[in-house]
Structure 1
Amino acid sequence: MALGDSSAAAYIHMVQHLIERCLLFGMSMEECVDALSKHANIGPIITSTVWKGLEKENKEFFKSYGQWRETRN
């Protein structure tokens, strides 16, 4: 594995961690993208791509999360 691969993986892992924190605050994908862009200087395309990857790997969680967000609003 090249050095660039390791740092790219670490960056993606950091974005994933920040998205998980957004989930703890009950944020939508759009709110999370805005927050990470504003507060962590992470490009919206990166956040949305990682978010969508998490959704793909954790379908049941995001289904429940979406239902929970609907009921709390």
Structure 2
Amino acid sequence: VRSLHDAGLVDVYRLLQVPVVVGDGKRLFADGAVPATYRITESEVLNGGGGALALTLSSAAFGTTGVGEFVVEDGKEEIA
């Protein structure tokens, strides 16, 4: 996934987010990954009461947001 992401070949991510902490885990995007912008286009709370979410993230324009300049500082997205 990381190689495809870094090559700009991923348009949509479909993720299951489960609120469980198990050790350190493995990061999907390691430090130094190529920056990209995705927007949540679909979301669904899954049945079962465990708080799991099904998310669809679609690629979005990278750069400006219409409000100000988009920047990444210390790994966090901010509007300058």
TM-score by length of 2: 0.27
Q: Which has the larger radius of gyration?
A: 2
Bigger helix share = 1
> More relative contact order in 1 or in 2 (CA 8 Å, sep 6+)?
2
TM-score by length of 1: 0.28
